[in-house]
Amino acid sequence: MRNPAIESAHALFGVVIALAVSCFASATHAALPAAVDGEPLPSLAPVLERVTPSVVNVFTETRVQVRSPLLEDPFFRHFFNVPERARERISRSLGSGVIVDAERGYVLTNNHVIDGSTDISVTLHDGRSFSAEVIGMDPDTDLAMIRIDAEDLQALPMADSSELRVGDFVVAVGNPFGLGQTVTSGIVSALGRTGFRGLQYQNFIQTDASINPGNSGGALINLRGELVGINSAIFTPSGGNVGIGFAIPSSMASYVMTQLAEFGEVRRGTLGLFVQDLTDELAGALGVEVKGGALVAEVVPDSVADAAGIEPGDVVVSVAGQLVAGAQEFHNIEGQLPVGELVELDYLRDQQAETVQLGVAALLSLDGAAIDRRFEGVVFEDLPAKARANRVRGVMLAEVESGSRLERQGLREGDIITGVNRSRVSNLSEFQDAVRAAGRPLVLQLRRNRSDYVARID
């Protein structure tokens, strides 16, 4: 006997199965379409075909003289017939670079990729290799420019990195782990990242596009194939990529590149101000209602800011028409001001808005009157007041006697001691007091060639 309810259920089940099969077939078909609206599948390949010839591999060699302490003993050398010449150790490393001027053969890379190298070679995308010469280096931004003598080069056009937004798609091209040219993609994760030690000027682009050792100096591009950054560093607890990479913005790289091409160095200006971040607590204490800004902590004597009447406690809100969000941003803007140019500085004093025009002065060299003191075969000098325009505090090593104990322990002429046993020292008097109080061993914080080091003196 027929049961209408069962027949109805069977019919409904058949409809569901048919719909499921139909949907599965549609989903399978949708996952692998041959075209979208009549267009081929979206791909980065056409962009990369234009970009990859502009990204190069950079190989460096560093030759280091190695001597054992035993070899310093004349008797030991004579007894064992050891030659006077020290043994040589060769250290090799690799990185990436970007062709930025095809006519002159200029390649932009990271300073840390070539720093200290005695030989630099560049391998192009087509397999050709060339020796490279250094045009200039800028440790303060970790950028450097080298030159190769080659024909048929292709330069990468630059975009304005200030137009980047968090969420924009980007692609990293470089030579990770020496594998050869590699492409990874991601998005802009954050902008304006700072806090990296040893760099005076920093405004990094953060991206989750995989950046690994060897990618340094490579290109970060947008989807139009334009350079938006130079890959520089990664955050990693393990040595590998964890999705946090950093690139130097193309706007900063463009300025440095122009300076290196013209002068072989970056000639920066200064307004003669030391500033700090304006925290909520400081803003409340000063009665200032402003988001961002940089608080003037010190005015360099006889600087352009001093002559214009800027005072500690003033709050800088913009320089040359660019809003200042904090101390690092003020520093970044100041470091790209052309020497001799007049710029407007907007600031707050007693909650009143003020504007002043300042002429950008050149950063002063560490020269001028000095107070000499001798200690352990080394002559120390107080830094002159004018040197504060270089944002340096400490004591300079004016002379280091050859063969002295401090020389054997790594100190060099021109080093600047900034701290003793983790205590900051700003002048010779503070240094002497710190040495007397510390006893032995001494742990000296040093600044050499704009990089920070530590030396232990037993």
Assigned domain for 70 exists: yes
* Residue 27: alpha-carbon gap to chain centroid: 47
**Verdict on whether the full-model pTM lies above 0.85:** no
362, 397, 425 - which closes a domain: 362
Considering 54, 93, 138, 142, which one is annotated as catalytic? 142
Considering 54, 93, 96, 112, which one is annotated as catalytic? 112
Residue 99: how many other CB atoms lie within 10 Å: 23
331 as an active site residue: the answer is: no
Same-domain pairing of 352 and 400: no
Assigned domain for 43 exists: no
Assigned domain for 14 exists: no
pLDDT digits (tens, 9 = 90+) for 17-76: 343 334 434 443 334 455 666 667 778 888 999 999 999 999 998 776 655 555 555 655
Tokens linked to 337: 């001001």
pLDDT digits (tens, 9 = 90+) for 214-259: 888 999 999 999 999 999 876 655 555 667 889 999 999 999 999 9
Tokens linked to 292: 């961002």
Considering 54, 117, 210, 216, which one is annotated as catalytic? 216
148, 174, 209 - which closes a domain: 148
Q: What angle do CA 344, 350, 353 make, to 5 degrees?
A: 30
Long-range contacts of 405-414 (CB under 8 A, 24+ apart): 405/376, 405/377, 406/376, 406/377, 406/378, 406/457, 407/377, 407/378, 409/455, 409/456, 409/457, 409/458, 410/453, 410/455, 411/378, 411/444, 411/446, 411/455, 412/448, 414/448
Gyration radius from the chain CA atoms = 29
Q: Is the pLDDT of residue 187 over 80?
A: yes
Same-domain pairing of 132 and 108: yes
The CATH number for 87's domain is 2.40.10.10
Same-domain pairing of 378 and 301: no
Same-domain pairing of 113 and 64: yes
The CATH number for 320's domain is 2.30.42.10
* Residue 320: alpha-carbon gap to chain centroid: 23
CB burial of 281-319 (b: ≥16 within 10 Å; e: otherwise) equals: eebeebebeeebbbbbeebbeebbbeeeebeeebbbbbb
Assigned domain for 86 exists: yes
pLDDT digits (tens, 9 = 90+) for 352-402: 889 999 988 876 533 333 344 555 567 777 776 555 555 567 888 877 777
The single-letter code of the amino acid at 235 is F
Q: How many domains does the chain have?
A: 4
Assigned domain for 94 exists: yes
Tokens linked to 46: 């056409």
Assigned domain for 38 exists: no
Contacts of 438 (CB under 8 A, 6+ apart): 420, 421, 423
Domain span holding position 135: 49-148
335, 362, 389 - which closes a domain: 362
208 as an active site residue: the answer is: no
129 as an active site residue: the answer is: no
